[in-house]
Structure 1
């Protein structure tokens, strides 16, 4: 592989540009960040840039403050120089008009004015410290002015002593050099400093004005940057989060519709982890559904086997028992009759279990259809009692049912199946010599039928479960039933649009009740 310019080459062909490689690397790194890390990055990066801009702003403020100080210094120097120059010029002009040879001259006024100028020169010397050229000028002025001041002192002393010779010498000194020195001091030396400081003051003022504009511009830049970064960060976060949330939401709907999910989200953030877990869950559910379908196929195979391979031979056996009972094959002795009856009972029991199993499967699959018609409730009850009467008499039990004049909308055979099951349970658990009562009333828009026994009752903890498939009130009951009967009863009653339940007191008995719609409201 060769590297040329901004491209990667292999065998003379462009593979990928360096820019694309950079973008890919950056995208990969960003995708590895968690939501918290991305949020911190989006927060800290603008904050860092804002801090840098604020530091620049602080630097510019310091520079502006220094320029302001320089402007103030130049203005002070300029004003002081102007004051010194003005005072020197006043003294020079006054001396130009004076004749020191006169006997009355106000030398004390000159001396006081000279001392004031000297103090101002010393003040100026302090102000120009650090500026070598100006310090030299002010030092020269100070030396010159010291000589002038000394001349004033000698003249004033001679004037006080009335020493005319000394006074004439001082006057000659003034005439020959002092006046000229004053003019030179006032115009040449001092004013050179004033001109320089005036220029500096003007420049400082211009610089300060420019810096103020720069500071204003920087302030607007910082404000604009903060607004833009805030808007961009907010938009990115909202778009990023909403997009990934929408993907998760769509996957939820797709999973519910049993459709293929969207591709996995890229990255290692929390959304990507949730999406990976969601895809894993979808795979597990798909495997579970496949297992359920396999189980359903096995169940259907079992139902088919029970229907054809077991039920058909049992029907043949039942027919053979009827054939024997009719004496077609000859008379059986007592022992043969007992054995035949026991075998017939066992065969009937197995056939009943198979029928219950098939009914439960039909109800669960929604394949059972009702033949609903208007029918007298008393007819259904009488037929149900007739089906179990022999078993009740065998157990020395009495079944009581008061006459009723109620019509219901129902499938007679299926409702008889329900009552036969409930009566069979009542017979099974009632003590010998007991009574089973059937009470029928109208409650609102339903006919309520209660089957009351005097058995051992059902524990409160078991009442909510006895209508579930394969559930029984106690472990001892498993020897005398499959636990399908009450579940079938509930499913049949529900198909009729009714309800079924139980009220029970332990040691006293149970009341199973069924509600079905009245015929007049169907």
Structure 2
């Protein structure tokens, strides 16, 4: 049935009971016709039986009146003619009733002829006066009447009485069958219609309920029921619904993939809380989706409380797509510069946001400013000095004495060295950042590294009256000797620069967590807490807190190079400082295999 359309099933449900009802009515009509036929036969046989009985009774009455030949002889001709006339009338009735029954009609005609012959004998008896002839005629008449009355007429009357009785019984039986067929046939058709209709209704209800439940399952993101079997409208609707669900799932997966693999953080915000977020939140803020879900947006904003509240409150007022910059707080505490694109959805009652990390752009802008500052100050100053020296030497080459020329050349050489140092520092930083700088790990004696560093900065320390306290050590690090030398010279040089005259710079090392820890400590004014995370940034120079303003400013790249070289060795570098108590620059290096075995 499910291969048929529902409309055809319903049509069949209507047509089949109607066809059965028509068949039942035809059967009942046949039974009715049979009953009526039996009724007509019973009435016909009854009339024949009554006519024959009446004819026989008429004959009996005539015989009773003329029971003796003397009574017959005494009868008047009019009486005999009256009997004959009545008899003929009775025969006409019987002839009319038996005209459709040739055999009966022939029998009746035969009896009628014999009857007329009996009346003719009665006339002869009445007409003759001869007693002997009357006696003979009377005997013939007696035999004739006996044969008619007690023979054939009686048998015919009895026969048709039995046929009338049988027809009546057959009619009763036909009526009973009619009633039974009407009752049972109607009941069976009603039961068939009820059963088939209930089954069809239950099937349609069940299948429609499956469709409704699938709709709910699709809305709640639960697995759908298997496809309905069949080829009817409901099955086709269910197949179309499943195809639509598959298409929606594929579209959702593609959309989810686009969102999940997007580099920008995509989220929805409702009532000031994150209600959905893509995995890019971990890259941007260090939080997983589960950690960020349900948290307040204001807690992730690295602005003042008032600014953060105004920002969150304004999200619902942005009906069109708008972009603005917001500083956000990473899980580890550092600030991330972001660009927000938001759209308020009145239907969802949520704000949909795309958050782009612009920290690199901000860093590039800051770097550009620092480079411009370096070009403006650090590069322009030595270049200007060289320009002045060349101008003096060119225009006063005859008037200047050798001592003055030598002085100018020394100043020019220092300016060139400063430019070369600045350029080399920039190149080393870029090589380390891009991964083009390799470390040749070899055992390096730290005692030898300390000696080379002391020799390099001894003159500078002596000029300021500083004591350089280098602790002896027998530790051997694994790394690049030249780069370790540059780390030490930079750190010790900075310590000398920012230490007060007659102060002390202390250099020591030891083992910490399977790494060699080297500490360079000075006695300067220290570094403010807010600057501790910035001292290793490019072109950053701490002012005020770490000592008096030095007439000789650095390039701002020394500590950046130190960090790059330390990280290339697999170590880390940091600073510990309290304002007014100096600063300690610490870094770690891997131990040589010899030290590890010990």
TM-score bucket of the superposed structures, by smaller chain: 0.5 to 0.7
User: Aligned residue for 1:225?
Assistant: 188
Q: 1:209 Cα shift?
A: 2.2
CA distance in 1, matches of 2:340, 2:97: 114
TM-score (norm 2): 0.46
Partner of 2:108: 138
CA contact (8 A) 1:128 1:135 kept: yes
- Could you tell me which residue of structure 1 aligns to residue 47 of structure 2? 76
Of Structure 1 and Structure 2, which has the larger fraction of its residues in helix? 1
Q: Does 1:414 align with 2:377?
A: no
**Residue in 2 that maps onto 1:236:** 199
Alignment of 1:329-368 (within 5 A): 368=296
Name 2:574's counterpart in structure 1.
none
Unpaired segments of 5 or more residues in structure 2? 267-283, 324-338, 352-598
1:369 corresponds to which of 289, 294, 297: 297
Native 8 Å contact 2:122 2:141 kept in 1: no
CA contact (8 A) 1:64 1:212 kept: yes
Deviation at 1:50, TM superposition (A): 2.6
**For residues 298 and 195 of structure 1, what CA distance do their matches in structure 2 show?**
111
Report what 1:89 is aligned to.
60
Report the RMSD for the aligned CA atoms in angstroms. Answer: 4.0
Q: Which residue of 2 aligns with 1:467?
A: 319
Task: Give the deviation of 1:261 after TM superposition.
Answer: 1.3
Q: 1:121: which partner in 2?
A: 91
* Residues 465 and 87 (structure 1), Cα distance of their counterparts in 2 relative to 1, 3 Å cut: farther
CA shift, 1:88, in A, is 0.6
- 1:355-434 counterparts in 2 under 5 A? 368-370=296-298, 412-417=306-311
Q: 1:242 & 1:214 partners in 2: Cα distance?
A: 40
CA contact (8 A) 1:89 1:183 kept: no
Partners of 1:147 and 1:66 lie apart in 2 by 38
SS of 2:229 mapped into structure 1: coil
Q: Is the 8 A contact 1:91 1:110 kept in 2?
A: no
1:187 and 1:298 map into 2 onto residues whose CA distance is: 122
The alpha-carbon deviation at position 298 of structure 1 amounts to 4.0
Matched with 2:264 is: 302
Kindly indicate whether the alpha-carbon contact (under 8 Å) linking 2:48 and 2:94 is maintained by their aligned counterparts in 1: yes
Tell me, yes or no, if the aligned pair for 1:100 and 1:171 is still in contact at 8 Å: no
For residues 134 and 170 of structure 1, do their structure 2 counterparts lie closer, same or farther at Cα, with a shift above 3 Å needed?
farther
CA displacement at 1:236 relative to structure 2: 0.6
Q: Describe how 1:181-220 pairs up with structure 2 within 5 A.
A: 181-220=144-183
- How far apart in 2 are the matches of 1:139 and 1:261? 92
Q: What does the per-residue CA deviation read over 1:128-164, in whole Å, with 9 as the maximum and x for residues that have no partner?
A: 23434422321111111222344556677x5xxxxxx
Call closer, same or farther: CA 1:169–1:139 in 2, change over 3 Å: farther
| Corresponding residue of 2:511 | none
1:469 CA drift (Å):
1.8
Greater relative CO, 1 or 2 (CA 8 Å, sep 6+)? 1
Cα distance, 1:269–1:151 mapped onto 2, change above 3 Å:
same
Aligned pair count reads: 311
Instruction: Give 1 or 2 for the bigger CA radius of gyration.
Output: 2
